[in-house]
Structure 1
Amino acid sequence: MAAKREKDIAQQVLGEVGTTMAAEAGIRLDDKPAPLWQLLVLVNLASTRISADIAVAAAKELNKAGGTTPSGMAGLSWQERVDALGRGHYVRYDESTASRLGECAEFAGERYGGDLRKLADEADGKRTRLSKGLQEFKGVGPTGADIFCREAQQVWPWLRPYIDKLARKGADRVGLPTSAEGLGELVSGDDMAAFCAGLVRIARQDELAERIREKAA
């Protein structure tokens, strides 16, 4: 059984920094084609050497431009994608990313009929299969697949608890267990994606880890 102190720390993580990347990008994540595609786009943007904040801002602009579905993204011209990325200050890789997102949209349409739920169906409850399928999208590697799964566990309960390397690092920094089993006992399944998102922020920001530790002391 998880100790009360560990559960208290977990609630602090949720309360202070427990917001998923999808929520930050204005994506109302659900087990439906459009939001799952939007999550994949966000993951693709976050997979380059660029800050999470810029990836989120760029995802918002692409959605505003009409790239909320694979067909919508494919319907945008290359220049429209570049312009949307620019408005989100995603300028270092804007041209290559505009091309890549167009290719991903075409692949999603051809391979899955624009519905990434079919990707989950083909995974048949196996995380390794899902990760492999995600990495068939250009620009998505193992880290990007981890981000997708970490966020998608919000709507795909069979993934829970999905604790990637960065979330484990954050857990360790605030004195929490680092095993999936141990962390899975600390919050409800519905909160697991937000909890892991908070742990990732803690892993990346020293001041957050220090603040959580001080409150738990």
Structure 2
Amino acid sequence: MSDDRSVVRELVRAHGQTYAEEAGITLRDTPQPLYRLLVLAHLLSARIRGSIAMDTARSLYEYDEMTATQLGEEAELLNERWHGDLRRLRKEADGDVTALRRLLEQFPGVGPAGADIFLREVQRVWPEVAPALDGKALAGARRLGLTQDPGRLIDLAGDTEPAVLAAASVRASLDKEVAEDSLRQAS
């Protein structure tokens, strides 16, 4: 039988790439990568397959008309309200993650799932968001037989960034084989 720390280590080793990294986004606290992350969160939360969302985020040409319209409206809102800079949205939230989530959900097509995705990934550059281990990440931990306490999960992960742990845990929640592989490798 494996211990929890080994399970987390194997999960992160094999599946610990953030979705932003997978989409080719080098996340920094600057306008362009933050906007690219918002678009990725929008696409990943849309009713399209995750693989299509990832391909779309890379190439931005294979999305349906409704999503294209929402992305245009999203850019318009960002420009009008926050002058094209999501850091201004962050400033408006003033360190309050609930307020930040509410502001993100004002973007067309970015509902609770999209806000969760954005927060899980942006915690890399916006430390006040960490640890962002939402219901989807905790579902992965549950599938692995791990604690549902975000603080304890972070402790189990050691030096692993919370964004990397969250991405790996989400992959375990979405793909039973990811969880089974991690458990097998840890034993």
The question of a shared fold, defined as TM-score above 0.5 by the shorter chain, is answered with yes
The match for 1:139 is: 109
Deviations 1:66-89 (A, max 9, x none): xxxxxxxxxxxxxxxxxx12xxxx
CA spacing shift, 1:124–1:196, aligned 2, 3 Å: same
User: Which one scores higher on RCO, CA 8 angstroms, separation ≥ 6?
Assistant: 2
**Pairwise mapping of residues 113-192 of structure 1 onto structure 2 (< 5 A)?**
113-187=83-157, 191-192=161-162
User: Does residue 215 of structure 1 match 2:185?
Assistant: yes
4+ runs deviating over 3 angstroms = none
Partners of 1:120 and 1:166 in 2: CA distance: 23
Map Cα deviations across residues 114-173 of structure 1 (whole Å, 9 max, x no partner). Answer: 110111111111111000000110001111111110111111111111111111011111
Equivalent residue for 1:57, pick from 50, 55, 58: 55
Identify unmatched segments of 5+ residues in structure 1. Answer: 63-83
One-letter amino acid of the structure 2 residue matched with residue 133 of structure 1:
L
Q: In the aligned structure 1, how far is the partner of 2:106 from the partner of 2:53?
A: 20
Which amino acid in 2 is paired with 1:32?
T
Q: Which residue of 2 aligns with 1:112?
A: 82
> Given the superposition, is the C-alpha separation of residues 155 and 190 from structure 1 closer, same or farther in structure 2, using an over 3 Å criterion?
farther
Instruction: Give, as a single letter, the amino acid of the residue that structure 2 aligns with 1:137.
Output: F
Percent identical among aligned pairs is 44
- Tell me how large the CA RMSD over aligned residues is: 1.5
Which of 171, 177, 181 is the matching residue for 1:201? 171
Report the Cα offset of residue 206 of structure 1. Answer: 1.1
Which range is displaced more, 104-113 or 182-191? 182-191
Q: For each residue in 1:37-66, what CA deviation from the matched residue of structure 2 results, as whole angstroms up to 9, or x when unmatched?
A: 00000111112111211111101112xxxx
- After TM superposition, the structure 1 = structure 2 runs for residues 30-109 of structure 1, keeping only pairs within 5 Å, are 30-62=28-60, 84-85=61-62, 90=63, 94-109=64-79
* TM superposition score normalised by structure 2: 0.94
Quickly say closer, same or farther: Cα 1:188–1:122, change in 2 above 3 A: farther
| Matched pairs, number | 186
What stretches of structure 2 of length at least 5 have no aligned partner? none
Deviation at 1:196, TM superposition (A): 0.8
Q: TM-score, normalised by structure 1?
A: 0.82
Shift of 1:195: 1.1
1:144 and 1:198 map into 2 onto residues whose CA distance is: 17
Query: Which structure's CA Rg is the greater one?
Result: 1
Question: 1:153, 1:193 within 8 Å by CA — same for their partners in 2?
Answer: yes
CA distance 1:188–1:28, shift in 2 (3 Å)? farther
Shift of 1:188: 5.0
SS at match of 1:185: helix
Give yes or no for contact 1:7–1:187 (8 Å, CA) kept in 2.
Answer: yes
The code of the aligned residue for 2:175 comes to Q
Q: Which amino acid aligns with 1:145?
A: A
